[in-house]
């Protein structure tokens, strides 16, 4: 018998089906045994009745997280037993045959709080928790929406190399790797140079590689490995062209997460970032520092960035805000001077706003 996905059981009421998946919960209720069965598409309650002697013999040995195959009749629940608001809350699988495909021995309750070492040591199991699956599914949506937005803006995706001959940016500590013929290689710290090369062929390009930084750190702002969402484009008028592409991408990401993961957001007790009705607000670095009442240093501290986002949310209804016009002396590799407003030039050890 062909397998039926659990999400499709509502189309099979009254029919004999076969489902395969994992046992989330096993409950003994007198002479009956109930199971919450899940597969990639969703979850359903199954029940083994006392008269199903062969299935009952197997059911007595089944435990949580066993992998099973179950076949039986899809029954509609009585009106008083319908569980509103949950998948398949209106039906139940009456299991007539049950097969154990694989046994799982988990030394703790799945989804319970465990330390990091325990979580990583038992990753094949801990990744089955709803929290872990939520994280991976939201990540999937973020990168899918980013890709879709860039494709819609006529960008070409390319695969950036993970092994390089040196550090792409010159300021990050790179992981050294023994390479062929006694040569050295390094794990890529950025796809930056590759993006610039590809612009010469395709004009608009993006990549979503894993990049690596060999830096000791103790904050979430500095990671040894992360997924980089990078794009590069040619023939721009100024920085506002780049900002518009990024704004389009971020809007697409937020809307996609909101459309697909409301239940996950509720489980994490969080909400979507605020999107303004109009364009994302934008301020120059000096303006941002004046808003916050902080000194005119060449950069913003993390607490300044958080405070600025709070201000943006309150004043503009946006959790997103662009900060432009950083001093060239601070980041010469990235910054192109605004010919009409050369702000934050170095002058006697202080940063000042000057008009040419």
Q: Which of 85, 121, 99 is nearest to 37 (CA)?
A: 99
Q: What is the pLDDT of residues 191-216, one digit of tens each?
A: 999 999 999 999 999 999 999 988 88
- The mean of the pLDDT values for the chain is 90
Q: What is the mean pLDDT of residues 128-151?
A: 96
Cβ atoms 280, 318 nearer than 8 A: yes
Between CA 285 and CA 299 the distance in angstroms is 8
**Calpha distance 286→9 (Å, rounded):** 60
CA distance 149 to 254: 12
Q: Taking a C-beta distance cutoff of 8 angstroms, is the pair 203, 241 a contact?
A: no
Cα(253)–Cα(109) distance, integer angstroms: 34
Tokens of 245: 């592409």
Beta strand ranges found along 57-188 (DSSP E): 67-76, 91-102, 156-157, 163-164, 176-178, 184-187
Q: What percent of the chain has pLDDT over 90?
A: 72
Per-residue pLDDT of 254-288, as tens digits, reads: 999 999 999 999 999 999 999 999 999 999 999 99
Residue written as token pair 């990401």? 253
Give residue 214's pLDDT. 86
Token reading at 248: 């389009």
Report the 3 state secondary structure along 134-163. Answer: HHHHHHHHHHHHHHHHHHHCCCEECCCCCE
The domains found in the chain, sorted by start residue, are 6-102 (2.40.50.140), 129-262 (3.30.930.10), 273-356 (no CATH)
Alpha-carbon span 45 to 25, nearest angstrom: 9
Cβ pair 107, 65 in contact under 8 A: no
pLDDT (tens digit, 9 = 90+) per residue, 144-154? 999 999 999 99
């Amino acid at each position: 018998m062909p397998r039926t996905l659990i999400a499709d059981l509502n189309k099979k009421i009254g029919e004999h089906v076969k489902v395969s998946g994992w046992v989330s919960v096993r409950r003994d209720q007198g002479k009956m045994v109930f199971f919450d069965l899940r597969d990639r598409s969703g979850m359903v309650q199954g029940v083994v009745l006392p008269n199903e002697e062969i299935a009952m013999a197997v059911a007595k040995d089944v435990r949580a997280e066993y992998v099973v195959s179950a076949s039986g009749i899809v029954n509609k629940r009585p009106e008083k037993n319908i569980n509103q608001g949950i998948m398949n809350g209106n039906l139940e699988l009456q299991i007539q045959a049950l097969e154990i495909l694989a046994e799982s021995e988990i030394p703790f309750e799945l989804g319970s709080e465990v330390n990091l070492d325990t979580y990583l040591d038992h990753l094949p199991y801990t990744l089955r928790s709803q929290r872990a699956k939520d994280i991976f599914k939201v990540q999937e949506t973020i990168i899918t929406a980013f890709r879709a937005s860039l494709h819609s803006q006529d960008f070409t995706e390319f695969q950036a190399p993970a092994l390089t001959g040196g550090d792409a940016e010159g300021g990050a500590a790179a992981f050294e790797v023994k390479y062929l013929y006694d040569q050295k290689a390094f794990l890529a710290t950025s796809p930056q140079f590759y993006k610039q090369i590809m612009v010469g062929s395709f004009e608009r390009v993006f990549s979503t590689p894993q990049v690596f930084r060999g830096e000791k750190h103790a904050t979430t702002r500095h990671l040894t490995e992360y997924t980089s969402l990078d794009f590069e484009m040619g023939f721009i008028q100024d920085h506002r062209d780049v900002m518009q592409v990024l704004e389009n991408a971020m809007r697409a990401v937020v809307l996609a997460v909101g459309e697909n993961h409301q239940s996950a957001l509720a489980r994490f007790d969080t909400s979507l970032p605020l999107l303004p009705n109009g364009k994302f607000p934008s301020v120059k670095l000096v303006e941002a520092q004046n808003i916050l009442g902080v000194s005119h240093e060449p950069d913003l501290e993390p607490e300044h960035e958080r405070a600025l986002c709070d201000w943006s949310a309150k004043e503009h209804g946006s959790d997103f805000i662009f900060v432009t016009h950083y001093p060239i002396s601070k980041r010469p590799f990235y910054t192109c001077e605004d010919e009409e407003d050369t702000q934050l030039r170095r002058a006697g050890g202080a940063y000042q706003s000057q008009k040419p």
